[in-house]
Structure 1
Amino acid sequence: MPKFANAFALLGESESEDVKELIEVVDERADVSLLEALKKKNAIAKKEADAKKEAKERERLQREIHSPTRELHTWILFVMANSQFVPACIMFIANIVIINVGGAIGGWLNGHVAFYDTNEQGYGVETTALSSALFNNGQTCGACFEVTCVDVPKLCLPGTTKVTATNLCPPSKNASANWCNPPSKHFDLSQPMFLKIAKFAAARIVPTHFQRVPCFERGGIKFYLGVRPNFLLVLVDDVGGAGDVVDVKVKGLSTGWIQMTRNWGQNWQTGGGWDKGRNAYVVGHDWGAVAGWNLSLFRPDRVIGLVNLSVPYFPRSPTTKTTEAIRQIFGEGCHVIQFQEPGRAEKAFARYDYMTVMKKFLLITNNMIAPPDMEFIDYLETQSSLPAWLTEEDIQVFAEKFEESGFTGPLNYYRSMDLTWELLAPWQGSKIMVPVKFMIGDKDFGFKSGGTSEFVQGDEFRSLVPDLEVVIVGGHHFIQQENPQEVSSQILSFLRQHPADQ
């Protein structure tokens, strides 16, 4: 067989006699695809043989696990498998109040442990799945355990590992893989946690002890919310202390404390009633005003009234994207256009310290169109003195925040304007159907340019916002800081004019 003389060596040893026979009849006229078919068939046969061998080993381990001579010990079963676990402690974010946290801690107990890939699951590595006997219908979710290897010097490592229960290791109908079945007390550790207490070995099993221990918070308690009409689901995470939660209550804006019941694990539920008084007044400025307009457009049922400052509700063009419309009116020197290129504005801003950048923006007095070949931030003036309404301490607050986060986040709002235009297509021609008071400074460049003054005081704006009151106040762009008394008075007047339903 000149062409496939080494075929059997290439395929490797196999217990499949039919594969050997097929290889022996291959000659020079055989097609290469036949060799590929033989490889595939041989691989299947080898996999089946390995599975049988693995099943026999598991049966032996199970007999050893349940041996009367081992009844005072627990076991860790090290299984390399892609088991599917039910997530019990990761979901949705908000503020709920836990009334009581409990759970017994201390005392070494007995059980089994395997490992699974928690990185793939997305929950980190200091976690474990529990058998039904330990998981207790999810009530042990969030509890923490300490596990140590015992009695096998060749495999055990000194010390212990601490893990948090996050998943259920489900029972199996397979007799050779029933370590999670009641009444077994079994853990499935992540591989890194297993390797802290035991070496990897062919037998893949070591005896262990475990006990409940206190949990340590990492960043504070977290709440994940699942909200549906007449239903609220809350998942409590990162509790600390005992780890498991025994009672939860929730309080709405206009309700007393409402008792929640355990859904499963640390998921707690309640029906309707918690969301009474959920509607709100909304006040926004600049990009906050845009958010207020969109919220009122999408969910007018949630907005009692809207007070927006400085940025009016412009109609969406059905054909022209937002940045193109701005480019047509103001040209390439407009800050909106310059901000579109990722990294450009950040690089230009970096030539100044954060205090100077904030002064330039907070004290804009000139128009916002930079000359050709000039960066917008360079074009803005740096005032030599501060007005009475702004202090160095005020600016420092803004500067410190942006020093922590950088400017890319807010600049990305500008870079997503065209995406927003696309997403708003279903609301083309829609009106704002909530009561609105709109305020803008008489010296605001946005008010004085691009026809905004005429639009704000004309009929088109009122046709888009039927229940509208427009107030022109003294000041530039940041009127809530420059003229706080007038702005506050106007907001309070609006609230009195549009009281919330009691």
Structure 2
Amino acid sequence: MTEIAHRFVESTGGLRMHVAEAGSGPLVLLLHGFPECWYSWRHQLVALAEAGYHAVAPDQRGYARTGGPREADRYTIHHLVGDVAGLIDALGEERAVVVGHDWGAPVAWATAQFLPERVRGVAGLSVPHRPRSSRPPVQAMREMFGEGFYMVHFQRPGEPEADLDRDRTATFRRILYAASGDGGGLLPAVPEGGGFVESCPEPARLPGWLTEDDIATYAREYGDAGFAGPVNWYRNLDRNWELTAAWHRAPITPPALYIGGDRDPVVAGPARRAVDRLADFVPNLRGTVWLSGCGHWTQQERPAEVNEALIGFIRDL
């Protein structure tokens, strides 16, 4: 059985990053989303290693064993892409296949857009590339979804991370279930005066892909870092919009793959159009894979299908 090893890498961007890794060969970086860490790629690390690749899943800036700065303005998309480039350097490589899920997907897409010479191929899970909007996103989401939309709610200082840190076991159990295909693929509204965690349903029983040990691992991995860093990613949505003006509608040119679940709230309803139009802005899109009955947590809910799609895509590069 292939083992997953752990170490800390001094990124050339100045961040001491915890990485989980397996195998040897061409480099494949696996970028997690919210509220996750390296552990969300536990199934892919082994499969990619056994297929002949060096699979590396970092805890990204602010998360879990990596941790990060307190200042919110040090979590911009430029910092996050810089961390990826610095990690590729620190691992002794010139290029990598970059795979991202949830928040990791925009980082992967942006890395391929800003630094195409460093990216052999890019894969986005759940979140498709979206071209830069015509106006700052937070106000647009506030007008469309209201103050209770979780991305708007996360702009409040101090309150969201206190809610998420209060009972981490409940946080992971409720959020992972709510947005899954088993939980109905929900992005619930935060009630006035309430918190995001309580707005997510308590499962009567866990789905087959998620165990109590998995939940305990997530809660343990967050350790001293907690949720302040992860929430700070959301507090840079408008700042990222300002910083990316130079790449307005710039194409993403490396070979690309998209994988999504047909019960994922991120691409439900009108949001599905972003996937349908993906090739307009990602001209070297090699394929779109839809996972039936799958919610938001693609690589955890459907590991075998995700592994097959990723390995096939990488082998064809």
TM-score bracket, shorter-length normalisation? 0.5 to 0.7
In the alignment, what sits opposite 2:243?
423
Per residue, is there more strand in 1 or in 2?
1
In the alignment, what sits opposite 2:267?
447
In the alignment, what sits opposite 2:280?
463
In the alignment, what sits opposite 1:400?
220
2:311 to 480, 488, 492: 492
In the alignment, what sits opposite 1:369?
188
Shift in Å at residue 448 of structure 1? 1.1
Q: One-letter code of the match for 1:354?
A: R
How many Å separate the matches in 1 of 2:163 and 2:176?
Answer: 17
Q: Cα 1:361–1:305, aligned 2, differ >3 Å: closer, same or farther?
A: same
Q: State whether structure 2 residue 284 is matched by structure 1 residue 284.
A: no
Judge conservation of contact 2:94–2:118 (CA < 8 Å) in 1: yes
Of all paired residues, the percent bearing the same amino acid is 36
Shift in Å at residue 393 of structure 1? 1.0
- 3-state SS of 2:224 partner: helix
Q: TM-score, normalised by structure 1?
A: 0.43
In the alignment, what sits opposite 2:38?
none
How many Å separate the matches in 2 of 1:92 and 1:355?
Answer: 32
Per residue, is there more helix in 1 or in 2?
2
Q: One-letter code of the match for 1:345?
A: P
In the alignment, what sits opposite 2:172?
358
How many Å separate the matches in 2 of 1:442 and 1:350?
Answer: 30
How many Å separate the matches in 1 of 2:13 and 2:233?
Answer: 25
Shift in Å at residue 372 of structure 1? 4.4
Q: One-letter code of the match for 2:240?
A: T
How many Å separate the matches in 1 of 2:225 and 2:217?
Answer: 13
Structure 2: tracts of 5 or more residues without a match? 1-11, 17-88
Shift in Å at residue 484 of structure 1? 0.2
Judge conservation of contact 1:336–1:414 (CA < 8 Å) in 2: yes
Judge conservation of contact 1:297–1:430 (CA < 8 Å) in 2: yes
How many Å separate the matches in 2 of 1:471 and 1:325?
Answer: 29
Shift in Å at residue 430 of structure 1? 0.6
In the alignment, what sits opposite 2:122?
306
Q: One-letter code of the match for 2:237?
A: M
Question: What is the number of residues matched between the two proteins?
Answer: 226
1:414 to 234, 249, 272: 234
Judge conservation of contact 2:191–2:199 (CA < 8 Å) in 1: no
In the alignment, what sits opposite 1:472?
290
Matches within 5 A, 1:265-284: 278-284=94-100
CA RMSD of aligned residues (A): 2.3
Larger relative CO (CA 8 A, sep 6+): 1 or 2?
Answer: 2
Q: TM-score, normalised by structure 2?
A: 0.66
In the alignment, what sits opposite 2:164?
349
- 3-state SS of 1:341 partner: coil
Q: One-letter code of the match for 2:159?
A: R
Q: Cα 1:281–1:316, aligned 2, differ >3 Å: closer, same or farther?
A: same
Q: One-letter code of the match for 2:230?
A: P
